[in-house]
Amino acid sequence: MMPTKMLTSPASQIADALAGNAEAVCRHYLSKGRKEGRYWLVGDVHNTPGRSLYVRLSASPDGRGAAGKWTDAQSGHHGDLLDIIAMARNCRTLRETLAEARHFLRLPMPPPVADAPLRRTKAPTGTPEAARRLHAGSKPIGSSLVRTYLASRHMTNLVGCGALRFHGHCWYRPSDEDSLDVRTAWPAMIAAVTDLDGSVTGVHRTWLALNGSAKAPVAYPRRAMGELLGNGVRFGRAGAVMMAGEGIETMLSLRQVIPMMPAIAGLSAAHLAAILFPAGLKRLYVARDDDPAGAGALKTLNQRAIPAGIEVVPLEPRLGDFNDDLMAFGRERLAAGLRAQLRVGDAAQFLTVG
């Protein structure tokens, strides 16, 4: 946790002003990050590219999360936008930080860049309502390009994958890193992000090549929108034993050999660290990616689980992630590697290969 500070009244006012312009602050001080739904994702407070640190850009509708608050899933640090400015500019005192913040707030604020608009919708872009409308406008995957794409990644067992849907013409908002002639609509895999009650709070979009053989050739083929923090993409019904991991394809890869274990896919290491625990959960297998952000997410989850009486068991891939393992080694060897990491009773109950 970052050191706390006693804010004077002027400092509180400046902090509130920064929170009201959270996206502009992030674009200025954390320029190597990017907007995803209601959050700004970046590697850390030093503006390293990545997704470990997330800043809330607007207050949550239920009032549980304030704009401008941030958390680094890898380090566990958290704070507000004054902390971001202090570390970005190496300010030594609160006085220096406030001076920098005042200077920034005198600059003209660029208008926020909205998420891709949905055709013929009055829902504000990036909101849970807009996400629900996009979800409703998609259809079950059936024999669509979603199956083609997942099969190309060796994922063919899609039992219990009702959270995944297909959209044949999903809007893509080009970024500065896209070519000038990039298409603005592609087929897409739409994954429902739901809360503990099963309500859709967001969606994750994976844009696909026109033949479904790979992701679309765009700068950012994966984006999320809606209320994401604490929620995830769910496979199967919650139970006493579950698994969670960073990314949809990681969890689908595991479900090729553990298809009946309920699973939750976080959309990044930061979101994995923040998932809410379902009632009755006793053991949570955590499929972490082999990188510092994955290690940080596992540490944070373990710290949260201990007081709740939940056992956290890490699942380690041999390569970078479990889809790499599946594609490189096949189901039999993937299952054999998992058997050594699962509790004996769980391996007997859930493993279907190896």
Region of poorest pLDDT, from 32-46, 55-69, 198-212: 55-69
d(CA 79, CA 45): 10
Q: Decide if pLDDT at 123 tops 50.
A: no
Task: Check whether 279 has a pLDDT greater than 80.
Answer: yes
Which structural domains are found in the chain, ordered by start?
Answer: 11-105 (3.90.580), 128-350 (3.40.1360.10)
- Start-to-end C-alpha separation, the chain: 43
Q: Convert the pLDDT of each residue in 7-59 to its tens digit.
A: 445 778 888 889 988 999 999 999 999 998 888 999 888 898 888 888 999 88
Residue 112's pLDDT is: 59
Please tell me which of 50-54, 150-154, 300-304 the model is most confident about, judged by mean pLDDT. 150-154
Q: Where are the beta strands (DSSP E) in 9-151?
A: 34-36, 39-42, 53-56, 70-72, 78-79, 139-140
- Summarize pLDDT for 305-328 with one digit per residue, the tens: 999 999 999 999 999 899 999 999
Least confident of 17-21, 93-97, 103-107, 307-311: 103-107
Going by pLDDT thresholds of 50, 70 and 90, the confidence category of residue 113 is low
